Structure 1
Amino acid sequence: MGSCGPRRQCWGLVLRVALVQAAWSAGVGQVRYSVPEEAKAGTVVGRLAQDLGLEAGDAEWRRLRLVSQGRGSSVEVSGASGALVVSSRLDREELCGKSAPCALRLEVLVERPLRVFHVELEVTDINDNAPFFPAARKNLSVSENSPPGSRFPLEGASDADVGANAQLSYTLSPSEHFSLDLQRSEEYRESLFLVLTKPLDRETVPVHRLVLTASDGGRPSLTGTMELVISVLDANDNAPQFNQSVYKVQLLENAAEGMLVVRVNATDEDEELNSEVTYTAINTFPPKGLNVFLLNPKTGEIRLTGALDFEDVRSYEIQIEATDKGTPPLSGHCKVVLEVLDVNDNAPEVWVTSLSVPVSEDAPPGTVVALLSVSDRDSGANGRVRCAVWPSSPFGLVSRFAGSYSLVLREALDRERVWEYEVEVRAEDGGSPPLRATRGVRVPVSDVNDNAPSFLQAVYTVLARENNAAGAELARVWARDPDEAGNGRVSYSLWEGGVGGASPSVGRRAASSYVSVDAESGRVWAVQPLDYEEVQVLQFEVRAVDAGDPPLCGNATVQVFVVDENDNAPALLPSSVGGGWGGSSVEAVPGSLWAWASWGAPAGQVVAKIRAVDADSGYNAWLRYEVWEPRGKGPFRVGLYSGEVTTARALEEADGPRQRLVIVVRDHGEPSRSATATLSVSLVEGGESSSSSSGSSSSSSSGVRPSWGAEVGAASASGASATNVWLVVAICAVSSLFLLALVLYGASRWAPRAAVLSGPGPATLVCASEVGSWSYSQRQSRSLCVAEGAGKSDLMVFSPNFPPPPGPAAKETQPEPPALLDTVSGPPFIASRPLLAHVSLVSLVSLVSPGSRAEWAGPAVGGCLSGA
């Protein structure tokens, strides 16, 4: 360091030494290998990772791979060991032709860290090609005056191999006149001459036939032969001579037709006709060059007359003969070598070698749809092709080997969403500029029965008026099946369902007895007219079945609500009993209705109750009662909705012994229907009223059955009332009875309202149908006890037309929550929306048979109506 001088000069020297070492390392960083052609796949060419200085096992971690293979695609790098191995067949003649040595330049990339190495792979030749001559027979003409030593050029054999395997030696069949002379050159091909060793005598031997044999230098040696037919001529002794024995020319493959390629020139020292030369192309290799080049026989110009294709022929050799016009004519020979240079003039080509369509929509991912073949006739970067598929789903490309791809299914298909795909395979080479090619593949999707028919609605609600005509269309259902052909052809059928609100006389009838469904159109039509009093709700299912194999089906529920029409007039109940407050009573005899009332009865006393029912529902069954005669201020009035006939004022003797009332019962339908009842009220003394009441009870129990009428209470309640009156009279006397009546009357006026329903039947379900009408039935009777005066109660109980539930009847007496009755006011059961209530009303009064003892629970006494 001390001899280096200043410190700055020393550091400069060190830096220069480092740069020289780095440059030396870059220069020697190339690795060379050698492999014989036709080596088997898997043959290890060399330990590439080790030769590049990588540690054992680092090749895969550091991602050692080939970057640009070019024509060396027949080798690859083993990921695990990092060795360079043969992956496919190596043919030196196919890779390099006659070039020697055949060296493939490879680029090796190490990604961790990033480094690039150059690897040169030499493919050595083996003797796998025999020599061959351009023709099996060669005709020569030799003048008999040719001096010994005359030389006649012969077309030598060619061998596709190189090196020693292409070193040819020639032998000639034994002859005393001819021998062979082979001249070799390092720059050009060897030249073979037939040498005349002894003068010829045409008159002795006019034709000489010899066999020329070519042998290569391989082990074992391979041979090829050609027959020489030599005709001995007489005449011209100077042959034309070319100024060059070999003409070398390079042409781009896109050279224009008609351009001048080369001009050959030969001279002849003879004179006159013997010096006039004509040019002839006697041999072209390959033979198709005869159609590509045109030789002018007079000028020796060679012009391009056809298209050149580097991918087809990379070089041409043309042997030209110059012949004079002497007798016999003499000739000279030369060779023209034309090398074709490549340009990127070939776009990639894509072929569909196999197509399997249509593809079933249930095909699993990975199904091969088509086999594709991709190639580019250019070489080098111009011939490297990249492929892609568009759209990228649901199909993809899988490379099987070089130039071969499979179009496979990547995702599940759905024919109902996409029934056909137009797939485009795109290929692009590596030229500059790149050339592209596309190939369209049409992939239809076949259907499977994977969709069941589906209705637009799960439940179809239909309103149908009663008394509709048979065959009338009630509804139309439609199910959609997106499948095609038979898989999507839907037929409809009726599933038996329930019949809601049927009367007990009708029973449970099948839905098919009311409606039918058209199998093709889904039209639901009535088989017979519907009767609301028979059926209120008709519910059934419609099944839609496709014609697939196996068939799939879907169901929809159809609810047909029968809308009531006002087709039934009110009907008076055919029952009658007697009884009343203070001895008032009612009696029905054929053709008339009778009731008794006591003089002095206070206002609001219940005299009788008219009972009527309407088979219709809702407003059509909502009844109101009016006094038709007499009009004006009579002593009696009728409850608008209860039908109770009560005293409008205290009865006096001036009212006469009898009052005749005509009561009209109307419904609220449109148009309204009505019925009339005639009530005769006899005014009697209190004792007579009791006797009449007893007689009425006896008459009723002895078998008198009225045709129609009204009632005030049950027969058993009438007998119990009479028995209680007699007990009170016996104990308290007549004066005490009058005082007790006044007390009870006042208590009934100011006591809290209470109403009780009692009857032998079970608890009744009162419900409104979904179309807003109320079910109503007269088939079950109930008892209504009202504690207050008549005319203020407007509670109306409807019994639905459903059959009673099975099991034992409910108990006669159950406690009734008073809040339910207290909230009922105004027109009975008028609602703006469907209502479902379960009402269970039980009488608080025990009913006993006539003559039996009855004990009252309290002092409140009111009119009690009971039905049979």
Structure 2
Amino acid sequence: MLKLSGLQFLLLIHLAIWLNLEGLSVTGPLKDMDFSVQEGGGPRILHQFKLESPAVSFRTSGEKAGIIDIEPRTGILYINGSLDWETKKVHKLQVESVDESGKRVKGPYAVTIYVEDINDNPPEFNQTKYYGVVRQNSRPGKPFMYVHATDRDDPTTLHAQLSYSILHHFPNPYDEMLFQIDNATGAISPSRKGSYYLDPQKQDTFILVVSVKDMAGTTTNAFTSSVDVIITVKESLWKAPPTIHIKENSTQVHPVNISKVQSNEPGVIYGILEKEKLPRLPFSISENGDIYVTQPLDREERDTYTFFVVSKDNTGELVDKPLQIHVIVEDINDNPPVCQQDLTVIEVQENEKGGSNIGTVFATDMDKKDTLNSRLHFQIQSQEPEFPVQNLFYIQQDTGTLQLTGRSLNKRESAKYFLKVLVTDSKFKTICDVEVHVIDINDQIPIFKNSDYGSIAVAEDISIGSVILEIEATDGDEPATGSSLIIYQVKEGDPNNTFIIETDSETNRGFIRINKALDFETMPVYNLVINATNPEPLVEGVQYNSSSLTVLRVFVTNVDEPPAFRKPIYRTEVSEDIPVNTLVMMVEAYDPEGDSVRYSLEGDVRKWLRIDSATGQVYTASPLDRETEEIYSVEVVVSELNNAAQKSKVFLILHLRDVNDNYPQIATDYPTFFCYPVSGGERTLIQATDADEQFFYSKFTFSLANEMNARNNWEISKFNATHAYLSLKHANFEEKVYDVPIILNDNGKPPLENKVNLKVSICKCSSENSCFIDIDREHSWPTVGQAIGILLGVLIIIGAIVAGAFCHMRYKEKNEKSNPKDAKDDAELNRLA
């Protein structure tokens, strides 16, 4: 502590008296007082107490710490040294005044001195070095260690508020630090980049220089300390186990532990997520990360499983990346062979040579393919009948292929053989039943009952599919076999396949049907040659001959058919401005019988076209207009000249090409107005339209007519291709309707120009910002007086009508009495009059 000598302090006291402390706020009567004094700072005067008679001096006692006292005669309370907050924060004293005899006059009064802290202590770490361990792929921001520092200054002030930071990072292989520190708590954790890149195989040790500052690190004059933190990087505990193999149909007591996972963080909650939606997932995981299979598995039901294991903290947030777990279900031989068919039927021609492959017995095994568990062996167990010899058949043990052992079969000896084939795997066996049918060989050819079916006449308009004749041939081979089934075909005389022949498989009869439309004019007669064959090939030495052929002549009779057009539809495109009587197109039709035809139009509602009835040439009959109808469709009718009932129709479609023949106009969808009074500068959008195609009105130009009033009052500016702004040039407009002359031009070739007088209202506006129109009294509903006058007028008129009718009736009655008979002619009428 800084302390003055007695002489120095007396000089300080005299200086204070010389400065007339009585006139300052630091003087006053003796009473309880509190003082706040910053620590350090050296000697200082705190206060001067004034003497009040009969007191002649002051004295003090209490926690003076050897440097706090009062000058008895002057009453100056002073500190002769420096206070220390860290040593003592509060000093409590008692001050009293005494008289000449030393007897207390006033007091004692409490004087409390509070020592204020200053930042005079640097922070200190609680260790000279720190050591920590972090796991590869640890969660970013999750602390794995802490550093801690303290400061002896007042913790309620910034002096002892500490802020941590990483000063250096050795080594630092990346642009960003791999670690981060919480500036308030000193918690060290991997950064996002560190969580991704930390790898003990590349760098297993890091040194961090951690700095701590007081004053919360916010000022440049804060005290700073630093410490080395040595961090060891270890491999991640969170790893997916190798592929797990589980034998199917295990007899162990379930659940069975099959693997284990461990998170880098303690206390996590483990869970399982399905990769694909299954009816059931037979796996679970314990709170310690042990993975279990919960029930026996069946490889034939599912041979692999894939799922994810996750770890979460108590808030439900993922701690580690999900691990993918693969499980393979290993096969055991738990499935017997299965015959693919309950009964395998094999057909063998009786002339089949020994050693020939006659068929295959198929069986399957649901165990794993290409393993010994699913390898099958075939063996003939029995043959019925055993005639003419045993072992007529042989089966290849690995393929199930059946062969004849040495001789051909004979249907007369046995038409069927029944075989039992034993199929085995390494554990199970199954019997498959086989029937071998011996079928007759095809040594007989079909023979037609009639070698010539003569002639038939068929109208050319007969419908497709109609049967025109039934034919029949016979075959001496075994019925209902490929050797006896007959196939009929037109061999000659039908180059366009106009006819088709279907066989009834039960009776072997053939039905000749119309396959395509007949045409007398193209083919009036057909000379058909028809053959009959079998689907099975004939045996060696047997051939088809003329007995399997027959002939038929079909005469097509002519039917009067309607005329036909050359095209199914006629289309053309013309410009809408072509002159009247221009040739548009020519339609063509013909009559199959060669008769003359005439043309006419139907559906020409606009009377735009006419047709030459003899040539089919179509001309314009009146001006065309694309804006009225762009695609114009009519029907062309062609009929026989001598039989108008025989006719056909076809559509003629006319596409009209646009020309620039419509002047641009101002769109009138909404009224154009400005709210009165105007201020000048207001503007509104106006729109131009054109009935022509977009090619002609995709762009308009707007301008004002060259009139003095128009150019003085209005202004037009471009907005886009179809709109412009109409603006007011001043504020001197009356409340009325103005005609604004506007010149519009489209972009046709050549362009069209139109002058339009646009009605623009200057009007009072309603709260909805629309024109408000006052209704004139003279056009409104009549007043009460007017209504009474109108009613009286109507009554007077009705009364006049009734009076006139009454007078007329009286007059008529009088005439009838004086003229008892009617007039018979004009002369008599004159006489009566």
Q: Would the TM-score normalized by the shorter structure come out above 0.5?
A: no
Higher relative contact order (CA 8 A, sep 6+): 1
